[in-house]
Amino acid sequence: MKKIAILLLAGITLTSCVSRKSYTDLEAQFNRLRGDNRSLTDDLEEANRELEKLNNAYDKVSQDLRESTTKVEEMERDYASAKAQLEQLQSSYEALASNSSATIAENTRKNRELLTQLEAKQNDLTAKTNALEAERKRLEQLQRDLADRSARVDELEGVIAAKDAKMRNLKESISKALTDFEGKGLTVEQRDGKVYVSLENKLLFDSGSWTVGANGTRAVKQLGNVLAQNPEIAVLIEGHTDNVPYGGSGNLVGNWDLSAKRATAIVNILRMNSNIDPKNLTAAGRGEYAPVVPNDTAENKAKNRRIEVILTPKLDEVNALLNDID
């Protein structure tokens, strides 16, 4: 993606000079995109933590349900025992009725006490049963919510995995298309969900110039052929210089201006491909302020003089899924 960013920046340089405000806006856009990637990863981790919480809640409710069921079963046994005692007392009452009014009165009292206890147990059993039913319904709803969220998390992970796979395929396609330029100042790599194509200026420009040579034009056009087949990819082209002040005779104010013109030059070549949507292209000049290595040797300065083309997948689908999970 770094290489793609370089190409985008160079293209923008040829189209027009980038003002300080435009550069700041573009850099902010790039930082937002990078922040979006981190935010997506954080959101996915938060969704997984929420899923774990729901699973823990489900386990707790299941345990409570088992305990409540056990208590209800105990109460049913108590009820059956009390009922048997009542029946026994009723039999005793009938047997003693003819023998003693006092005994009858005592049995009557005990019978009433048992009836009162039995009614209390019945009421308690009804309350427990109602509570158990309410808990069962709440548990079923929790299970449905958990299954729904889990399905959306799985879908989000699938979308992210698909985008990562697509970016890997894009990297491989670019590497294959630009294989003739390997070892000539070209690198292609994937990181943070993006693809970076980096082209050193020796492959594209003469010193102090923003005119792309024949060899560099061929490389950019081959890159454009791959980009044309991926219209859902945003393309940022960044121009970079070393820290040596610009000393050319062109109408430039310094390295920043030179880097912007080089980025625009790359954009202009990409726009020659009618299958590339210009709305997907962004050019930016970063001057000497984003070196990849210290500017302490001629070799390192050559590495810092580059065009980076940064390819970023569009995240509309991922954002929609994250909103659904929230």
Give per-residue pLDDT as tens, 185-237: 899 999 988 999 999 999 999 888 899 999 999 999 999 999 999 999 999 99
| Domain end position, chosen among 110, 129, 161 | 161
Helix-strand-coil split of the chain, %, nearest 5: 70, 10, 20
Same domain? For 172 and 291 the reply is: yes
Q: Are residues 11 and 33 in the same domain?
A: yes
Same domain? 177 vs 314: yes
Residue 12, pLDDT above cutoff 50: no
User: How far is the C-alpha of 20 from the C-alpha of 16, rounded, in Å?
Assistant: 13
* CB contact set of 294 (below 8 Å; sequence gap of 6+): 300
Task: Tell me: do 43 and 136 sit in the same domain.
Answer: no
Q: Among 165, 189, 169, 268, which Cα is nearest to 3's?
A: 189
Q: Do 245 and 272 fall into the same domain?
A: yes
Are 65 and 136 spatial neighbours (Cβ–Cβ below 8 Å)? yes
What pLDDT score does 219 carry?
A: 94
For CA atoms 103, 107, 113, 116, the dihedral sign is negative
Both 136 and 77 in one domain: the answer is: yes
Q: Are residues 106 and 130 in the same domain?
A: yes
* % of the chain beyond a pLDDT of 90: 33
Across 6-10, 11-15, 66-70, 289-293, which has the greatest mean pLDDT?
Answer: 289-293
The domain that holds 194 is classified in CATH as 3.30.1330.60
Contacts of residue 75, defined as CB under 8 A and 6 or more positions apart, other chains included, come to: 121, 124, 125, 128
- H or E element in which residue 134 lies: helix 101-177
Which range among 70-79, 218-227, 248-257 has the greatest average pLDDT? 218-227
217 burial class (0-12, 13-18, 19+ CB within 10 angstroms)?
Answer: middle
**Which of 126, 161, 196 is the last residue before a domain boundary?**
161
Q: In the chain, how many domains are there?
A: 2
> Are 258 and 210 spatial neighbours (Cβ–Cβ below 8 Å)?
yes
Q: The domain containing residue 197 runs over which residues?
A: 2-49+163-325
Do 85 and 168 fall within a single domain? no
| Claim to verify: residue 70 and residue 193 sit in the same structural domain | no
Domain closes at, from 115, 134, 161: 161
Is the same domain home to 39 and 59?
no
| CA pair distance 222, 203, nearest whole angstrom | 14
**Co-location of 30 and 126 in the same domain:** no
- Residue in 227, 234, 225, 224 with CA at minimum distance from that of residue 279: 234
Give the pLDDT band (50/70/90) at residue 310: very high
> CATH code at 68?
1.10.287
Question: Residues 131, 195: one domain?
Answer: no
